[in-house]
Amino acid sequence: MTDRPRAGNPLWMAYEYLAMVVGLGALAVLCLIWLPCALVLDFLLPRKLGQTVGRAVISWGFRFYLGILSAFCACRFELDEIDRLCDQGPLIVAANHPSLLDAVMIVSRLPNAVCVMKAALMDNLLFGAAARLARYIRNDAALDVILGARDELQQGAHLVIFPEGSRTLDFPFGASSPSVGLIANRSKVDVQTLLIEFSTPYLGKAWPLFRRPELPLTCRVRLGRRFPPPANIQTFTAELDAYFNFEFGQNFRSTVAIAA
The model's pLDDT over 48-95, given as tens digits with 9 standing for 90+, comes to 999 999 999 999 999 999 999 999 999 999 999 999 999 999 999 999
DSSP-derived pairing of the beta strands 75-78 and 217-227: parallel
What confidence tens digit (pLDDT) does each residue in 148-175 have?
A: 999 999 999 999 999 998 898 887 788 8
Indicate the angle between helix axes 47-72 and 10-44, nearest 10 degrees.
Answer: 170
Average pLDDT, the chain: 92
Report the percent of the chain where pLDDT is more than 90. Answer: 84
- Residues near 216 by Cβ (< 8 Å), separated by ≥ 6? 2, 4, 74, 75, 76, 199
Whole-number pLDDT of residue 7: 65
Write down the pLDDT at residue 56: 98
Could you tell me the pTM of the whole model? 0.92
pLDDT of residue 174: 86
pLDDT at 18 over 50: yes
Read off the pLDDT of each residue in 16-20 and give the average, rounded to a whole number: 98
Predicted confidence (pLDDT) at residue 254 exceeds the cutoff of 70: no
Q: What is the pLDDT of residue 170?
A: 80
pLDDT recorded at residue 171: 79
CA–CA separation, 147 and 218 (whole Å): 36
Q: Which residues contact 210 (CB under 8 A, 6 or more apart)?
A: 20, 24
Measured CA to CA in angstroms, residue 241 lies from 92, 158, 173, 184, 213 at distances of 16, 21, 7, 16, 29
Give the pLDDT confidence score for residue 201 in this predicted structure.
Answer: 87
pLDDT at 231: 97
CA 50 to CA 22: how far, in whole Å? 30
What pLDDT is recorded for position 161? 97
